[in-house]
Amino acid sequence: MFQSFLDGLSLIVSWPGLLYLMGGIILGLWLGIVPGLGGVTGMVILLPFTFGMEPAHALAMLLGLFAVVSTSDTVSSVMLGIPGTIASQATVLDGHQMAKRGLPQTALGAAFVCSAFGGVLGGIAMALSLPIALWIILAFGSPEFFLLSLLGLLMVGAVSGNAVSKGIGAAAFGLLLSQIGYPVSSSTPRFWFGNPDLLDGLPLVPIFLGLFGIPEMMELAARRTSIAHIEDSRAENDSLMQGLREALKNKWLAIRCSLLGVYIGMLPGIGSAVVDWIAYGHAVQSAKDRSNFGKGDIRGVIAPEAANNAVLGGSLIPTLAFGIPGSGAMAILLGALTIHGFAPGRNMLETNLDVTFSMVWTIIIANLIGAAVLAMWGRQVARAAFVDGNLVVPAVIMFIFMGSWLWQPSMFTWIVLLSVGLLGYLMKISGWPRPPFILGFVLGPVMENAMSITYQSYTPMQVLQRPTVLILLAVVAVVFYFAVRQTRQRLSDFNIEITRESRGSLMLSMLMALGLCVLFGGAVWMAQDWTPLSRVSPIFIGCMGLLTMLFVLGTDITKLRHFAASGEPGAGGTVGTFLRENRDEFIVFSMIAVMVAVTPWVGTYVAVLGFAASFILLWGRYSLIPTTAYSFGIWLTLYVLYDRMLHTRFEPPFFL
C-alpha cells in the first residue's frame, strides 16, 4: 500500500500532471470567489476538456478545482457577507462582522490556514479510513440519517443568539418551505398552488444568495460607505499573520471540526450543506465565553472553514468505494471515472490503488497551494473592504442574480431570489436570526426522507437495536442538554444579527409572527386530506410553528410594554423614526425590483446594465465618464463570462 501511496504522488507531480493540477486550482480559486458559481459549475465546464487526457491528469484537474473552491469562497463570505457557495454560509456570521470592524485580513488569514489544514487532514483521513470505510458507510441507514439531521437542527439554538424563540420560528418557516413540491413518499405534490415551477420545490441557490446577499447590499448602499466601518489607516492590528496566530491559538477547535467534516462528508446527502452549521454550533457550545459570537469572533470563522474543506476527503470514500455520490460534484466525478475506464469498488481500492492515492495527494497539494496563493494576495483582497460601496453594489448584485440564473434559468428564479432578499432584510431589522431559516430549509427534505424510509422499513424495536442509533441518540441527548442549559442560564447572550430593538422593530416582528401564524395554520389545514406520510411533516411543522409564534408574540408584547412603562421620553423610538432609518434600504430594493420587473420586456443585458448605470449615476453620484466605464465592465463580464464561457441562456427582449 505504501508503494501505491508513492506512485500516486508521482502521478501528480510528474509533468504535465502538475500543470493540469495548477490549471484546476486557478480556475477553482476564481469560481469560489464569484457568488453563485462554485465547484459544480467548474467541473461541468472542465469535464469535456478531460476527454482524451491521461486519467490521473484529468482527475487531478477536476479535483484540484473542487478542492480549493471551499477555500476561496471565504472571500465573498468575509468581504461581502454573501456565501460564495453553500459550504460557506456559517462563515458569514462572524467573518463579515470582522470585515466591518476593519479586520478582514485577520479573518481571511485564519480562514485560509484552517481551510488548508482541514483539506490536508481530510485527504489524510481519507487514506487512513479506506480500510474502515465499508463499516462506517454500511452502518448508517435511514434512522441514523434522521438522527444526524436532528442533530444539525438542534444547532438552531447555537445560531439564534439571544433570540432562541425567533430562531426556532425561523427554522420552522424554513422547514415548511422545504415541504413544497413532491415528497419522497407520495406522488401528490404539496403547496404547489398550480404552479409547475414549484413541483420540484424552491431552488436552494437563490434562497441562500437572496437571504444573505441582497440585505447586505441594501445596507451597504444605504450607508454610502465602504464595507469596513473604519478608515484603512486605523486597522493597524489587522494582518494575515494575526489570523495565523489566532488559528494556532484555537488549533484544537480546528482539529475537532476537521474530523467532524471528514466523517460527516462520508454520509451521502449530508455533506457540505450542513457541516459548517454543525461545526459552528459546536464552536459556540464548547466555548466558555460566547459573548462575541455573531459580532466578529474568530472562532466563528475557524470552525466552519476547517470543517467544510475536510468534507471532500470524506465524500470521496463512498464515491470510490461503492459508487455512491453524496453530492452533485461527486456525481460528476463518478461520471469522469466511468469515462476514463474506472469502476468504483474493488477496482479503485486494489487494481487502481495508485490512482486512488493520487486523488489523496491532489486534495492535499491543492489545499496547500490554494491557501498559499490566497494568502499572498490576501492584503490586496482585504483592501476591497475599504472600496467605495457604491462601486461594489451593482457588480455584486449582477453576480448574485446571474449566479441564481445559472442554477435555474427562468424569471421564477429571480422572483424567488428577490422575495427571499426582502424577507432576509425584514428578518434582519426585526431581530429574527436568518441562519436557522436556511438550516431548516436544507435539513427539511433530508429529515423527512429518512423518517419516511425508517417508518416503512423498520419497527421501533429494530431501530433501537442498532448500535449506531444508540450512539447518536446519546450524542443528541448531550447536545440537547447543553442547548437547554445554555438557554436557561442565558449563556447564549450574544447576537447573531446585530439589531437594535425599538418600537418599530418590535411592531415589524409582531407583524411577521402574525403572518407566520396564518401560514402555519393554513399549512395544517391544507395537509388534512393528504396521505399519512405526506401530511405528518407539514402538520408537525405547522403546529410547532404556531406554538412558537404565540411565544414570540407574547415576548414582543412584553418588550413593548416595558418601553411604555420605562417612563423615559421617546423610549424605543417611534414607528415613523424606524421607517425613516430604513428608507434608503427600501429605495435600493425598489431599484433592484425594477430591474427584475423590466427584464422580460427589455432582456437581461439591458435590465442589468440599466440598473448598474442608474445606480452609479443617480445613487453613487458619479459623473458620466466613470458611469460609462463601469457599465462597460458590467457588459463585458456578462458577455465574456456568462454568455461566451458559461453559455447562459439570457432572457431576450419581448420583441425577439
Residue 622 DSSP label = -
Q: Report how far residue 209's alpha carbon sits from residue 201's, in angstroms, rounded to the nearest whole number.
A: 17
17-33 vs 38-46: helix crossing angle, rounded to 10: 140
Grid coordinates given for 580: 425613516
pLDDT of residue 637: 92
pLDDT of residue 137: 62
Give the CA dihedral 236, 240, 241, 242, nearest 10 degrees: 60
Phi-psi category of residue 438: left, alpha or beta, with phi > 0 → left and psi -120 to 50 → alpha: alpha
Grid coordinates given for 523: 399549512
Grid coordinates given for 555: 415576548
Q: pLDDT tens for residues 450-493?
A: 888 888 888 888 888 888 888 888 888 887 776 666 655 544 45
- Cα 357 to the center of its chain, rounded Å: 30
Q: pLDDT tens for residues 616-633?
A: 999 999 999 999 999 999
Taking 70 as the pLDDT cut, the residues of the chain under it are 1-5, 36-39, 130-138, 157-162, 185, 228-236, 267-273, 322-328, 345-347, 349-350, 378, 382, 384-385, 482-500, 566-572, 656
pLDDT of residue 232: 44
Nearest partner of 219 among 581, 607, 594, 504, judged by Cα: 581
Q: Kindly report the CA angle at 622 between 618 and 625, in degrees rounded to 5?
A: 115
Residue with cell string 442565558: 490
Asked if residue 414 lies in contact with residue 36, where contact means CB atoms within 8 angstroms, the answer is: no
pLDDT of residue 310: 84
